[in-house]
Structure 1
């Protein structure tokens, strides 16, 4: 699962016993050598859909980490792209990463909590990749309201969401075991480390986005495969802020 340059078991253990912010600060120098970084296999089909929907003026990468999603925004935004993350370490790695190509939109890296975004309605596009497990279900309405508040009317909030694994499958038991392990860890240890990916269900998320004031549409990402019943393994949620 990890490249040779990735974290050791001891380093992962220390990170897992830290807070979310501190854990990612510690992981940041080796984050891009772990399976936690969003792979190109996901970024490429998302870029394909966004190019069809765009172009956009300014874009926001919510919980940007070291900046995998920033490359997507640079492809479809003309003016500026902004990455926000709570981890100063992850932002530092993002700033020090690959140089921004000539002619690319202005790039900004901002340390902020996604639950209290320090912007007005200045973005035409917001994206997020793989971060929603760090928010408890009760926090999602506030999180979605924050994203809604920083989008211009007609702005879009976009993120991929995978289909849940079939009950009884290897993926199902793996996610269940991980979820149980995290809940036991948080019951016995402080500070807590929130990472519960089984709680981010499409039906719930879609209903919460609509209550927030988004019009929600789904786009299949066939490059990521299909399930036995023919349905896509991954969809792109495109939530548009209504005027």
Structure 2
């Protein structure tokens, strides 16, 4: 276990996970206000990226590096930032539009990380600022029609040979309990957004690999999928989680270059 995780557990030792009432209050707010409310207890909820996924991501990034400048898009409380630092990125920036989440991230990483409050759909960076970008667990907050602009902005922020990397779980088997749980959640959110404003955008079933792969390619990336077998396999032998690696063409006209 890393020193950072020891510090996280000590920091949350005297806290309790948010009760249903607080989660409902979050869901009835806007996305930004909801995360501001949830931020102090976010790391105690199931929504935080699990440590095994962070470990697998860290190891994969080490294999792809070294990286000079790395960006965590929708960084939340900083779990992905920790992975970037453990992977050896020389400079790390975390971006989120929730001030409350950024406050928690700054407390976890008081030194050595740049923090930017901004909307991921309009990244405030000069072209070719980074050679790596990641994002964890945030894609459900973007409607399908918003993703092309999101991916184009990330592509513009990456220099030649840069990579946009994120883990993606295999979809649940149709008819399984997880399948119906996700279906029910998305249906409840659509009903909520039909009767209440502002909307709270969070849909699990709209982020499908064929669509995402096509959109990333249209944004100028070359896309490949790398299995993460350490996260286990399903009954049919396929991996439970894989890494999506979207690459920018290098200065030499090919993809696959390491950090800038």
Fold shared by both chains (TM-score > 0.5): yes
Residue among 240, 247, 250 paired with 1:233: 240
* 1:99 Cα offset (Å): 5.0
Detail structure 1 runs of 4+ shifted over 4 Å in the superposition: none
- 1:157 maps to 164
Do the aligned residues in 2 keep the contact of 1:59 with 1:77 (CA within 8 Å)?
A: no
- 1:111 maps to 117
Residue among 177, 186, 189 paired with 1:182: 189
Find the aligned partners of 2:121 and 2:109 in 1 and give their Cα distance.
28
Find the aligned partners of 1:218 and 1:77 in 2 and give their Cα distance.
22
Residue among 221, 225, 228 paired with 1:218: 225
Aligned pair 1:54/2:60, yes or no? no
Tell which deviates more after alignment, 226-235 or 134-143: 226-235
- 1:167 maps to 174
* 1:237 Cα offset (Å): 0.3
Aligned pair 1:38/2:49, yes or no? yes
- 2:40 maps to 29
Find the aligned partners of 2:24 and 2:242 in 1 and give their Cα distance.
33
Find the aligned partners of 2:24 and 2:235 in 1 and give their Cα distance.
37
Number of positions where the alignment pairs a residue of Structure 1 with one of Structure 2: 236
Find the aligned partners of 2:109 and 2:113 in 1 and give their Cα distance.
12
Find the aligned partners of 2:198 and 2:76 in 1 and give their Cα distance.
21
- 2:135 maps to 128
Q: What secondary structure is seen at the aligned counterpart in 2 of 1:199? A: coil
Q: What secondary structure is seen at the aligned counterpart in 1 of 2:239? A: coil
Do the aligned residues in 2 keep the contact of 1:58 with 1:77 (CA within 8 Å)?
A: no
Find the aligned partners of 1:30 and 1:112 in 2 and give their Cα distance.
22
Do the aligned residues in 2 keep the contact of 1:158 with 1:237 (CA within 8 Å)?
A: yes
Find the aligned partners of 2:197 and 2:191 in 1 and give their Cα distance.
11
Aligned pair 1:83/2:90, yes or no? no
* 1:98 Cα offset (Å): 4.9
Find the aligned partners of 1:23 and 1:212 in 2 and give their Cα distance.
30
Instruction: Give the gaps of 5 or more residues in structure 2.
Output: 1-12, 251-260
Do the aligned residues in 1 keep the contact of 2:59 with 2:87 (CA within 8 Å)?
A: no
Compute the TM-score of the two structures, normalised by the length of structure 1: 0.94
- 2:256 maps to none
Q: What secondary structure is seen at the aligned counterpart in 2 of 1:138? A: helix
* 1:225 Cα offset (Å): 1.4
- 2:151 maps to 144
Task: Kindly report the root-mean-square deviation, in angstroms, between the aligned alpha carbons of the 2 structures.
Answer: 1.3
* 1:79 Cα offset (Å): 2.6
Find the aligned partners of 2:130 and 2:109 in 1 and give their Cα distance.
24
Residue among 27, 33, 36 paired with 1:16: 27
Do the aligned residues in 2 keep the contact of 1:20 with 1:194 (CA within 8 Å)?
A: yes
Find the aligned partners of 1:148 and 1:138 in 2 and give their Cα distance.
17
